[in-house]
Structures are given as C-alpha cells and as structure tokens.
Structure 1
Amino acid sequence: MSIKIGDIIPDGTLHYVPFDPNEDITACPRPIPYKIHEKLKGKKAVIFAIPGPFTPACSETHVPGFISAHDALKAKGVSDVICISVMDGFVMNAFAKAYKAGDKVIMAGDGSALFSSALGLTQDLTNNGMGIRSKRFAIVIDDLVIKYIGVEKAPGVTSSGAEAVLAKL
C-alpha cells in the first residue's frame, strides 16, 4: 500500500548526525534518532529519498538541487528538508560532508527500510547489487499531512526534484 495526498505521514525513526561545521570528514560520530512525528509536528517539511548515496543521479542532480534550493524552500515556509536513503546514519553523515550539505539538508538513514516500507515506496535493486532500497521520491508535508508526492517512474530526477517541489509549494 502506498501513501497518498491527504494521509498523515507514517511515524518512523531515522538516524542522522546533526551538522557540526568543525567535524572532520573522517570523524565517526554516533547517529541519533530522528523521530518523524516528534520533529515535524506543526512544521512544513520536505522529505526526499535517494536510492543510494554516492550514485550518479543522487550525487549529480537530486541532492545538489535541494542544497541549492535551500533559500527558496525556506522562503516558501519549509522548515526542514530531509534526505533519506536505505543506508545507515554513518554513511549518510559521510555523504552530507562530502557534498557539503551543511545545515541545509538533514541526511538521515533508513537503515532497515522500515520508514520507506511504511510509505510503500521501496524497490528491489538486488539485481544491481543494492538490495531493497527506497524509490526516488519527494514528499511535502504540512503538520504531518501529505500535500505532495512525486515518485520517479524512470531513471532521472523530475517529479522528485527541488524544482518540482518548489512549484507545488
């Protein structure tokens, strides 16, 4: 079952490392929980998912697009932008540092795909050597209510990209 506009976003716990501008890229801090309902209640937020950090579309287009759109998203009332991947919080922290996400995008791991599964937005990439991953998508929520869902039907970044999300805000 897939989520739809008007639904309450499922609750879930992701794992992330809060941004620290003084942290070396080789530092290995422990990820902490990011509880969806607790963190996003009463806020307008964007959650977008990448099938894998350090993969072409994720690294070249999807994530850089949201980092670049930070100010425009804030101007439209978005308080939090969260990038998720079926990956652990350690890898997502390294990805955030490598792509200089800073405090513009929270890079959070959905290590066991529990949240992505609750959304109904997983895909099996076993034949590509990646196992179960999230689909490439973007969701806009306002006080936990889903207002927009853009799920990619083919490779590339269109309906889940920052431009598509900005057009729906």
Structure 2
Amino acid sequence: MSLKAGDSFPSDVVFKYIPWTEESGEITACGIPINFNASKEWADKKVVLFSVPGAFTPTCSVNHVPGYIQNIQQLKSKGVQTIAVIASNDPYVMSAWGKANKVTGDEFLFLSDPDAKFSESIGWANAGRTGRYAIVIDHGKVTYAEIETKKGAVEVSGADAVLAHL
C-alpha cells in the first residue's frame, strides 16, 4: 500500500542510523549504528523524508541530495524541522555519504532503510532497493507523498517540488 496525502505515517517505522559527532566527523571514521524510531521521533514534527535508490550514485549525488542541502533554510522557513534521506545502503555508507556532503548535526539525517523494508511496506521499492520518492509528514500525518515514475528523474521528489507543496 502506498502512502498518500491524508494518511497517518505508519507507527512502526525504524531505520538504522549513525549519529554525527565531531569526534567521528572524518569520512573514514566509523560510528556504531543505532535504531532510529522515525514514527516516535517524528510524531510531533514537520519532516521531509526523501528516498534515493543508492548513496554515491550519479543522480542521487548530483541531482537529488544537493537540492535539499541548498534549500535547508527555505525548508526551515516553511516549518520543516527535520530533513531525512533514506536508501537501502547500510548505515556506514549512509553516514559516510552525509560526511561527504559536509552535513553535520541532526537537522539533516542520512538514514538506512535496511533491505528496503520501509519502502517495500509502502510499495515503493524495486528489486530490494528503495525507490526515488518524497514524503512530507506533519505531526504524524502525510501531507505529500510522490514517487518518481521515470528512471533518473528528480521531478516530484526533489526539493523544489516539495517546497512547492509546503
């Protein structure tokens, strides 16, 4: 079942995550993965969650993530408290990808959707990988949810599309 505007965000969504710390800020530094209970953490927040098929891939690294990084302030001005990107990559890769993009702190999270479990649960996975999509969650309610239908496209899941719907 895919998510759509008006739905409640599922109550059992848990991703894997390595929190950023200054002491482990180097791209080669490994942290310890922990569970990130998105349902609980985001219950009282406005969140933009977007998904990419893979970290360090051309479309994701050149066309998708940079748009969100460049628009952090505009998203915040619309009340967004957290921006999160997920992929089916392991948490070590996602952590390194965040560091490669010079993202620090907890306003922009690089989360792992192991085995594309969440993406599969909403019908937006492809061959064990997360699809390319964006979801806006406002205090537990989905207000925007769109998946890309064209390979390599960043039209409905990019920062500009999300900003237009906030």
Cα distance, 1:101 vs structure 2: 2.0
1:110 paired residue among 97, 113, 118? 113
Q: Which residue of 2 aligns with 1:26?
A: 28
Alignment coverage as a number of residue pairs:
162
Q: Does 1:158 align with 2:160?
A: no
Query: 1:114-125 residue pairs with structure 2 within 5 A?
Result: 114-124=117-127
- Assess if the C-alpha contact under 8 Å between 2:7 and 2:142 holds in 1: yes
SS of the equivalent of 1:112 reads helix
The 2-side partners of 1:118 and 1:168 are apart by 24
SS of the equivalent of 1:78 reads coil
SS of the equivalent of 1:92 reads helix
- Supply the RMSD in Å over aligned alpha carbons: 1.1
Q: Which residue of 2 aligns with 1:85?
A: 87
SS of the equivalent of 1:153 reads coil
Q: Which residue of 2 aligns with 1:42?
A: 44
The 1-side partners of 2:103 and 2:53 are apart by 17
Q: Which residue of 2 aligns with 1:6?
A: 6
Runs of 4+ off more than 3 Å: none
The 2-side partners of 1:161 and 1:31 are apart by 27
- Assess if the C-alpha contact under 8 Å between 1:66 and 1:105 holds in 2: no
Task: Give the AA of the match of 1:106.
Answer: L
The 2-side partners of 1:31 and 1:70 are apart by 25
SS of the equivalent of 1:149 reads strand
More displaced 10-residue stretch of structure 1: 56-65 or 14-23:
14-23
Query: 1:33-72 residue pairs with structure 2 within 5 A?
Result: 33-72=35-74
- % identical equivalent positions: 41
SS of the equivalent of 2:5 reads coil
The 2-side partners of 1:32 and 1:70 are apart by 25
Cα distance, 1:37 vs structure 2: 1.3
With the length of structure 1 as denominator, give the TM-score of the two structures: 0.91
* CA displacement, residues 79-108 of structure 1 (integer Å, 9 cap, x when unaligned): 011100011111100111111122342000
* CA displacement, residues 22-68 of structure 1 (integer Å, 9 cap, x when unaligned): 42211111111110111001111000000000111100011111111
Cα distance, 1:21 vs structure 2: 3.3
1:145 paired residue among 128, 141, 147? 141
The 2-side partners of 1:75 and 1:86 are apart by 30
- Unaligned 5+ runs, structure 2: none
SS of the equivalent of 2:114 reads coil
